[in-house]
């Protein structure tokens, strides 16, 4: 993560710890993905840098200014600041333009989001999330926990779909309370979100950025057929006997779809279509809605992370692998996915590209 020196006001990347790693050497940050050390410092320079870090490390045109006067020569200050800027430790001061729907203006998230951006502008990510919409279909413990996590993370519009009724087994994890038992899940989930992030909108939208389908026993590719046709990204989450499968995250025309997974499974087991159909029929006749605590909590968190990665412009890991979480350890395991040659879903991507290209 690097950036060229930028004129104007700079600041220490939010959430960056500054510690002494050896005499004359300071370490900035602890995450090995971006932590750096700067050595060859005099005692005076090290004290100046630590003091500046405590005061926010704001600087103008690369030169540090702190409340207490510094005896470090200006040329030496400029040299150190250029090194810190090239390492993306000093970043442009975030103007915090725009608004966010996250609680406390995203104060709990902004430092981490800043660490993930080359420009350190975590508030820009929060502002973009406020313009995003996500639909969650299936609002048991996992679904409502997922929705609550997305609301807390600053997603601006959440569309909630589930006509079922809150059961006593839904209470606790995710946000349902005893007073919600007997209420329609969709309505109770809206109340949960209003208590967390009142400015999050819950009305219908023409085309959500992502749809999450929470199902039990087995995924049903037919449920996603309309989403495939409309080119809407969607994430499958399936709760089974003692595990949860998060994925695939389907980008229509670009990544494997649910039918691809069914076809791959059929290649490995000719009995799979018969087994899958029986599971789907059983789910319709005898819905299994109970979701074990650890599985629901872990599944909700992982599903939310995949959605947030997508809306933030990154490639979700679930786009190329299903993430399987099984009790008792709930340690995620990856099962790689790829388009099936007999499906044809990636032809959609080629058709879209051809359409955009226009006549030749």
Query: What are the pLDDT digits (tens) for 116-132?
Result: 988 888 999 999 999 99
| Structure-token pair, residue 175 | 């946000």
pLDDT value of residue 94: 67
Pairing relationship of beta strands 233-239 and 157-161 according to DSSP bridges: unpaired
Per residue in 262-279, pLDDT (tens digit) is 999 999 999 999 999 999
pLDDT value of residue 60: 37
pLDDT value of residue 206: 80
184 within 8 A of 256, measured Cβ to Cβ:
no
pLDDT value of residue 10: 83
DSSP 337: -
Per residue in 299-334, pLDDT (tens digit) is 999 999 999 999 999 999 999 999 999 999 999 999
* The listed CATH number (3.40.50.720, 1.10.1740.10, 3.50.50.60, 3.40.50.300) that belongs to domain 132-357: 3.40.50.720
The percent of residues above 90 in pLDDT, for the chain, comes to: 74
- The count of other CB atoms within 10 Å of the CB of residue 172 is 13
pLDDT value of residue 54: 86
Give the model's confidence band at 70: pLDDT under 50 very low, under 70 low, under 90 confident, else very high: confident
Total-model pTM: 0.87
Pairing relationship of beta strands 63-64 and 210-216 according to DSSP bridges: unpaired
pLDDT value of residue 245: 98
pLDDT value of residue 6: 42
At residue 36, does pLDDT exceed 60?
Answer: yes
Of the two residues 284 and 70, the one the predictor is more confident about is: 284
Lowest-pLDDT choice from 20-34, 64-78, 161-175: 64-78
- Kindly provide the b/e burial profile for residues 279-296, where b requires at least 16 CB atoms within 10 angstroms of the residue's own CB: bbeebeeeeebebbeebb
pLDDT value of residue 58: 45
Q: How far apart are CA 193 and CA 213, in angstroms?
A: 19
DSSP for 93-153 reads PP---S---SGGGGTTTHHHHHHTSTT--HHHHHHHHTT-EEEEE--SHHHHHHHHHHHHT
Q: How far apart are CA 13 and CA 90, in angstroms?
A: 6
57 within 8 A of 85, measured Cβ to Cβ:
no
Per residue in 83-97, pLDDT (tens digit) is 999 998 998 876 666
Mean per-residue pLDDT over the chain, rounded: 88
Q: How far apart are CA 238 and CA 219, in angstroms?
A: 6
| Helix, strand, coil fractions of the chain, as percent rounded to 5 | 40, 20, 40
In the chain, where the domains are located: 9-92, 132-357
Could you tell me which of 260, 278, 262, 267 has the C-alpha nearest to residue 320?
260
Give the model's confidence band at 190: pLDDT under 50 very low, under 70 low, under 90 confident, else very high: very high
Q: How far apart are CA 57 and CA 52, in angstroms?
A: 5
Place of tokens 């005099």: 42
Q: How far apart are CA 357 and CA 187, in angstroms?
A: 44
At residue 48, does pLDDT exceed 90?
Answer: yes
pLDDT value of residue 288: 82
pLDDT value of residue 8: 56
Cis peptide before 319 (omega within 30 of 0): no
193 within 8 A of 202, measured Cβ to Cβ:
yes
Supply angle C-alpha 322, 324, 327, rounded to 5.
Answer: 175
pLDDT value of residue 347: 76
At residue 203, does pLDDT exceed 70?
Answer: no
Residue length of the chain: 360
The percent of residues above 70 in pLDDT, for the chain, comes to: 88
pLDDT value of residue 57: 45
């Amino acid at each position: 993560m690097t950036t060229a020196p930028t004129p104007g006001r700079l600041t220490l990347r939010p959430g960056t710890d500054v510690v002494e790693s050896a005499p004359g050497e300071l370490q900035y940050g602890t995450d090995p993905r971006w932590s750096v050390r700067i050595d060859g410092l005099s005692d005076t320079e090290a004290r100046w840098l630590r003091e500046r870090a405590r005061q926010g490390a704001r600087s103008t045109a690369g030169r540090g200014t702190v409340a207490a006067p510094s005896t470090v020569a200006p040329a030496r200050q400029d040299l150190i600041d250029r090194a810190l800027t090239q390492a993306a430790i000093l970043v442009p001061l975030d103007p915090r333009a725009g608004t966010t729907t996250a609680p406390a203006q995203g104060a709990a998230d902004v430092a981490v989001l800043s660490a993930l951006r080359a420009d350190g502008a975590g508030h820009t990510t929060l502002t973009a999330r406020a313009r995003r919409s996500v639909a969650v279909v299936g609002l048991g413990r996992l679904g409502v926990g997922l929705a609550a996590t997305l609301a807390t993370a600053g997603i601006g519009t959440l569309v909630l779909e589930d006509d079922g009724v809150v059961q006593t087994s839904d209470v606790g994890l995710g946000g349902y309370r005893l007073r919600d038992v007997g209420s329609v899940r969709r309505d109770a989930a809206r109340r949960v979100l209003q208590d967390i992030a009142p400015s999050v909108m819950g009305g219908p939208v023409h085309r959500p950025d992502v749809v999450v389908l929470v199902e039990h026993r087995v995924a049903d590719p037919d449920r996603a057929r309309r989403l495939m046709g409309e080119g809407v990204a969607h994430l499958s989450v399936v709760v089974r006997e003692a595990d949860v499968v998060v994925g695939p995250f389907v980008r229509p025309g670009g990544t494997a779809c649910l039918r691809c997974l069914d076809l791959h499974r059929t290649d490995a087991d000719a009995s799979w279509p018969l087994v899958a159909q029986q599971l789907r029929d059983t789910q319709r006749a005898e819905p299994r809605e109970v979701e074990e605590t650890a599985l629901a909590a872990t599944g909700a968190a992982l599903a939310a992370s995949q959605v947030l990665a997508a809306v933030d412009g990154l490639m979700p890991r679930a786009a190329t692998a299903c993430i399987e979480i099984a009790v008792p350890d709930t340690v995620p395991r990856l099962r790689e996915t790829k388009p099936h040659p007999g499906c044809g879903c990636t032809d959609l991507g080629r058709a879209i590209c051809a359409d955009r290209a226009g006549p030749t």
